[in-house]
Structure 1
Amino acid sequence: MKMALDCLTEWHSWRAQLQHKGERRLLVLAGSQAWAMAQAQILTDDLQAPILWLGEHPSLRPTTTALAINKFKAALGQEYNGLIFNAFSGLHPDALGATAGTLKAGGVMLLLCPPLTQWPDYADPDLTRYVAQAEQALALNSPFLQRFVRELQHNKQVIIWHQGAAFPPLPCLSAQPWQPQVDRKGCLNGQQRHALATMLHCARTRTPMVLTADRGRGKSSLLGLAAQRLMQSGLTLLLSAPNQEAPSQAIKHCASPLPFMAPDAILAEQPKADILLIDEAAAIPVPMLLALAQGYCCIFASTEHGYEGTGLGFQLKFQPKLNELSPHWRKVHLQTPARWSAQDSLEPLIFNLLALNAEPQSPVGIKKAALHTRWITPATLVDNDPLLQQLFGLLTLAHYQTRPSDLRHLLDAPKVLLAVTFQGETPIAVALLGAEGALPPPLSQGIWRGQRRPRGHLLPQSLAFHGGLATATQYTYYRIMRIVVHPHCQQQGLGSQLLAWLQQHLPQKVHCDFIGTSFGASPSLLSFWQDNHFNALRLGQNRDGVSGLHAIMMLRPCSIAAQQVLPLWQGQFSANLQAYRQGIWPKDLTAIYQQLSLVPAAHSAKLDSLIAHDFAFFHRDLVCDQPALLRFVQSQARPDTLTIKQQEILAALITPGASPRLVAAQYSLSGYKAATQQARNIIKHFFKASSES
């Protein structure tokens, strides 16, 4: 059904009022995709540029920017008069949350979707991000969408137009007009003026500061305004953020060039600066933030709730540590919206739909006799939204980059388990686990040889391909993706109790060979997992660019088969570490190595030979395979076909820890790929496969 002329006139008049009031709204177009797209074009036909259309689209006017759903980050830092989100292309929660913040005051977000009763069973393309193989998504229904639809229908400010029905009545608007007024300093309200003055004072007195706000409060623009004033006063500034896109508004509001460096680059190079501005600080790991705070006078700006990271972990984990480091630090929080009216209904709606304001309930004292642990299903969470909010709030504390997509993963991903410890009815500890492994032989061989890399299955893939454990993909793992204890209940053994409960109850619920974990190896975390009988089997040689820590993978056996194979894997891991320590060993790994509980080195010559063969003839990784390649070459007679130079190049390339790039430069090779290919070609000489050499 198309809009009648009088309805269209009413729509235009209502939108003019919306603009005057500075509010934003959501209009849901529920029906077929063709119908929804046609109505969206009619409803936005009079809008001035810029307009953003996400997802599949018809032919659009030049004033409309079209982006694929997964390219939503290209819209960050922009502002739009209209926003069309085609959920037929996938309801990507991060994209929804991020782009809603780009809609200007007076704008309407149009959400195109299937009929609401059918939507949870729709083959949503976004579901493919939560399964190992795309076809698995076809059989899934979506508890996330069940909740999403329910919340849309219960919200009186949401306009829902069903295909075949008349155009819906439009909600009444607030009586208060809204018009932002920019003062001579560039501020839009009193809170901004106070925040700017505090930032300037803190910078000039070298006092650390934390500026927090939800989106649309002008936090990043204030960073830019402050930077301009400080540089004019002669101070040297440096800007950092989790990625280069995050501080675009800060750069935009600074008239002078504002140099940017990634956090890990700053820590590595230690450039000189009077003040370090850090935008979206909640998306940066706490150890890295503390290291930056030790080296610089920092102004930290952080979104409280958002798609880049959660401010809850930042608030509960980082700020107490900052207090120990600099007790005189200052904090300012912006509440007043700068880009839309305080009466805006879109922001609280998006917060609710994506659980962006989820927070754990604070427990009242811990009585161990009152504690109990049980499994919680997605169906339970959909039917109990307060529990969902509390559990998701707890999970946000376990990782510095919690995103709205993590909510959908929790509710929709298959083979995800949630174990929760309660004090009475209050959740105080939670472990989120995902099933991995038990892969079919053709896929396992493809992973081993570097030819396949299916989504998910982190532990078996990495242990096989990077760790050189050929049979790793055959076993079943439940990886603990997150485990967290409420901050008020920590240091009481609750995390260890939860792991012990999992060890006992997980094999009763599902077939499981190993419980596993992968994390950044800090001393405290390494002690925690080792104390709970987890065994290290892979250690990353390089620091993670985001966490600043070396990744480590650890397993605890559950089945008899796992108990039998684990010592063999541990022996191989110990032999590889021994080889790296005798080769080129990063100094910062020494402390981790000394803390590890290792079995005696005991490599398998047969496995080393298999690694060497499949490195030579397929696509295994040179740096990861260096220990096995070195042992293999040392155990073999030297082929007569190798020249002296080839022997020198090979010796340099298979030295454990050696950089292929540096070796390439030493021997006038074009780069990493050329050096790796040279190593493959030389290793081929050790096998009786002359036709392939």
Structure 2
Amino acid sequence: MLAGSQDWGIGTARRLTDDQSLWLGEGPDECHPIPANKVGRYLGREYPSLIFNAHSGLHPDAFGAALGCLAAGGVALLLCPPLDDWPDYADPDLSRYVALSEQARGLTSHFIHRFCRILLSDPKVLLWRQQAPPPPFPPLTGAHWQPRRDRHGCLSPDQRQALAMLLTSARRRQMMVLTADRGRGKSSLLGLAAYKLAAGGLRLLLTAPNPGAAAKAQEHARGTLDFIAPDLLLDTLPPADILLIDEAAAIPVPMLTRMAQHYCCLFATTEHGYEGTGLGFQLKFQQRLDSLAPGWCSYRLGTPARWSRRDPLEPLVFRLLALDADPASPPEQGRLQLRWLGQDRLASDETLLYQLFGLLTLAHYQTSPSDLRYLLDAPDTEIVLASQDDIPVAAMLIVREGGLDPALGQAVWRGQRRPRGHLLPQSLAFHGGLPEATGMRYGRIMRIVVHPRRHGQGLGSQLLARLQQHYTGRLDFLGASFGATPELLRFWQRNGFSLVRLGLTADGVSGHHAAMLLAPLSPAGEQCLPGWQALFQANLSYFLQDALAGLPPELVAQLPRPDSARVVNPDNDRRIAHDFAFAHRDFSADKPTLARFVAEQAATANLEPRQHKLLRQALLPGSQVERLAGTFGLAGRKAVIAQLRAVFQRLLAGA
């Protein structure tokens, strides 16, 4: 740790390292520094030294991923402000956790406070404070422990077993999943397996999130393995006997599913998911493999290959980022106790933090180290823990949203502003066409999780009932947004939540459309909700013939049907048409409203024939803007939307 000013830290790091280092954050041009959040393209490579400049922001995902790129015997340098000042430092990474950048000013980081405490308690961490003598450096060499490759190219019995399983699975056309923490040699093993399989006459393909992630496997395949990008692979489906997939957790689950439907696949992936989708692979995709390839096998590499078993850095990174957090086993029964936890309390109680974060990782397939920082640092976040006999059995994260300044709310509605956060009010206003949504106060349930051993006992419903009771009168709505499945919709609707929006495109990782549901908690919320539901239901009838035409029938069966007693407000339709014409509202989201508005106009005679034709074709359910561009000789999507805005401007002028 080089704790002091940024200039001193950069200068000192420059003297301690050479030009072969990986440098993240601000640094000298000759060192080719990269932004921390771009480290993903360097995964799978090795560097003799690594510099992480935390003055540029302590990005937890990047920090964890980068330190896995360090070679044996190397040194990692962490540049940071003086330790007493660091928790109050204006960390650029904090801007990711607030709605408006000015909210980050003056925040004390509980995440960094804990980070410093763990670093200072580790005797293997060398601290060099500015204006103090340097600490004594140990010899930096890994030669005395580094294993030699056997005749198969393996570095350990662990690797030999994994290689044998890869070869056997490929020859039997049996799917296999190889998992490991970083530095275990899984990419090298894919390459070794490919070399032997190619020598046996098998046709092989290799894919990965990017070419850099495939480089190590290609190196060990000795020229027998060509890389193909995932999207190109699925577009062309070239013939192959075996498809090897490296860093599989960083590829969206729907893409992995299609690969497994067309090929016999050997998957290799990092277990703890620095890329942010590790749990998606573990919790979602491996379940799909059960039906796609019954009898698939797996192997977990445990022995490090890139560094020693006694390496001090890896366990330190796991502690800093709680990568090995696991929930405690709950008791069979006991009185349920709810408590609201402060972020400062959580940051100072490692046992409680590990139990809570372990629970939360079970709730979402995209949990990453950045979620730990969010948990400890994000303002307007409330943490609710349910315990039995002091053992956590369930947890919820609630984010306070809404109550936006009227001017900001108007800009959001018109598509002129999109501040970070405030998911429910922004989406309901801009995509849902609800102008008053930005002024309402929401508690968005960001995560809700019940320990798997307590599933099916009604705990989730109990928690929601207690939450609604707690927040009644304090908020206008309790809400949630999640990937819609029939089971989840039934659960939330049973607990008094009403569907008010369904995303028009499926999530790239989960393959599900986002659903937004609300439960009113105030007279204002009770008054607004029927009108919001009426607009959503009227638009849904159109979208089921348009953007949502491909929804699974079992999901459609869970959706509400239009209620003739609920009438859409024509003034709101006209306002949407006006702000589509004269501002930046989204055509795809507003299509049903625009179609209703045009249908109710007495005359469109003031339109030119070409404009009338464009308008009629654009508002047909199922029409596609890109095809309209070809039909009308326009340059592309932007040109079509510009023409449609001009048509509505003329239509409104004559109305």
Please give the range of the TM-score, normalised by the shorter of the 2 chains. over 0.9
Aligned residue identity for 2:599:
Q
Aligned residue among 35, 52, 60 for 2:8:
35
* 2:82 aligned residue: 115
Residue 359 (str. 1) matches residue 294 (str. 2): no
Q: Is the 8 A contact 1:422 1:429 kept in 2?
A: yes
Q: Which amino acid aligns with 2:529?
A: L
The answer for the alignment partner of 2:353 in structure 1 is: 388
Find the partner of 1:523 among 477, 486, 498: 486
Q: Is the contact made by 1:90 and 1:125 (CA closer than 8 Å) also made in structure 2?
A: yes
Change (3 A) 1:323 1:674: closer
CA root-mean-square deviation: 2.7
Conserved? CA contact 2:412–2:429, under 8 Å = yes
1:553 aligns with 2:516: yes
Q: Which amino acid aligns with 1:353?
A: L
1:514–1:558: 8 Å Cα contact kept in structure 2? yes
Aligned twin of 2:582 = 617
Residue-by-residue CA offset, 1:372-425 (whole Å, 9 max, x unaligned): 222122112112101101111111111222111110000000011111111212
Whether 1:210 aligns to 2:192 is: no
The Cα of 1:170 is off from its aligned counterpart by 3.7
Could you tell me whether the CA contact under 8 Å between 1:217 and 1:339 is conserved in 2? Answer: yes
**Match status 1:379 vs 2:379:** no
Equivalent position to 1:50, from 9, 17, 20? 20
Q: 1:499 to 1:251 in 2, by over 3 A?
A: farther
* Superposition map of 1:177-192 within 5 A: 177-192=144-159
1:495-552 per-residue CA deviation (whole Å, 9 max, x = no partner) reads 22221121112347xx321111111112222222222221111112222222111221
Return the offset for 1:248. Answer: 4.6
The within-5 A match list for 1:95-494 is: 95-170=62-137, 177-241=144-208, 246-254=213-221, 255-262=223-230, 266=234, 273-283=240-250, 293=260, 296-309=263-276, 311=278, 314-315=281-282, 319=286, 322-323=289-290, 326=293, 328-364=295-331, 366-367=332-333, 369-494=334-459
**Aligned-partner Cα distance in 2 for 1:243–1:512:** 45
Decide whether aligned partners of structure 1 residues 675 and 290 sit closer, same or farther in structure 2, where only a CA change above 3 A counts.
closer
SS of aligned partner of 1:688: helix
After superposition, the Cα gap between the structure-2 partners of 1:626 and 1:310, relative to the gap in structure 1 and judged at 3 Å, is closer
Q: Which of 676, 683, 687 lines up with 2:641 in the alignment?
A: 676
1:31 is matched by which residue type in structure 2? Answer: G
SS at match of 2:544: helix
For residues 298 and 223 of structure 1, the distance between their equivalents in structure 2, rounded to whole angstroms, comes to 11
Mean Cα deviation higher: 668-677 or 620-629: 668-677
2:605 alignment counterpart:
640
Residue identity opposite 1:43 in structure 2: L
- Quick one: which of 523, 543, 546 aligns to 1:580? 543
AA paired with 1:194?
A: Q
Between 147-156 and 189-198, the greater mean CA deviation after superposition = 189-198
- Cα distance, 1:87 vs structure 2: 0.9
- Among candidates 462, 481, 496, match of residue 497 of structure 1: 462
Indicate the SS of the match to 2:75: strand
Instruction: Work out the CA distance in 1 between the residues paired with 2:599 and 2:554.
Output: 29
Name the counterpart of 1:10. none
- The structural deviation recorded for 1:647 is 1.0
Counterpart contact for 1:530–1:597, Cα < 8 Å:
no
Deviations 1:273-327 (A, max 9, x none): 5434333344567677567556543323221223113656755665566456655
**Distance in 2 separating the partners of 1:130 and 1:629:** 35
Q: Could you say if the C-alpha distance between residues 476 and 467 of structure 1 is closer, same or farther in structure 2, counting changes exceeding 3 Å?
A: same
CA distance in 2, matches of 1:234, 1:524: 46
Equivalent residue number for residue 662 of structure 1 = 627
Letter of the structure 2 residue corresponding to residue 438 of structure 1: G
For 1:605 and 1:226, the matched residues in 2 are separated by: 65
Report the identity percentage: 54
User: What pairs with 1:52-71 in structure 2 (closer than 5 Å)?
Assistant: 52-57=22-27, 59-60=28-29, 62=30, 64-71=31-38
Q: Deviations over 1:559-609 (max 9, x none)?
A: 111111011000000110112235575232543222123451632211111
What does the per-residue CA deviation read over 1:216-267, in whole Å, with 9 as the maximum and x for residues that have no partner? 111123223323433444444454556666545334544234353548984x
CA 1:41/1:287 → structure 2, altered by over 3 Å: closer, same or farther? Answer: closer
TM-aligned CA distance change 1:66 to 1:653, over 3 Å:
same
SS at match of 1:200: helix
> Which residue type is aligned with residue 21 of structure 2?
I
Q: Is the 8 A contact 2:72 2:142 kept in 1?
A: no
Q: Following TM superposition, by how much is the alpha carbon of 1:683 offset from its aligned partner in structure 2, in angstroms?
A: 1.0
Unmatched runs of 5 consecutive residues or more in structure 2: none
Aligned residues: 652
Partner-residue secondary structure (3-state), 1:370: coil
Three-state SS of the structure 2 residue aligned to 1:471 is helix
Provide, for residues 149-170 of structure 1, a one-character-per-residue CA deviation record: whole Å limited to 9, x for no partner.
1001100000011122222234
C-alpha spacing 1:673/1:253, structure 2 compared with 1 (3 Å): farther
Question: Does the CA contact (< 8 Å) of 1:539 and 1:551 recur in 2?
Answer: yes
Residue 495 of structure 2 aligns with an amino acid whose one-letter code is: N
Give the TM-score normalised by structure 1: 0.88
Distance 1:119 1:129 in 2: 18
Query: d(CA) in 2 for partners of 1:301 and 1:386?
Result: 32
Rounded Cα–Cα distance in structure 1 between residues aligned with 2:339 and 2:254: 32
The whole-number CA distance in structure 2 between the counterparts of 1:462 and 1:206 is: 46
2:651 aligned residue: 686
**Per-residue CA shift, 1:23-65, capped at 9, x if unaligned?**
xxxxx11122222222222222xx3x411222222x45x4x23
CA shift in 2, pair 1:494/1:330, >3 Å: same
Unaligned runs of 5+ in 1: 1-27
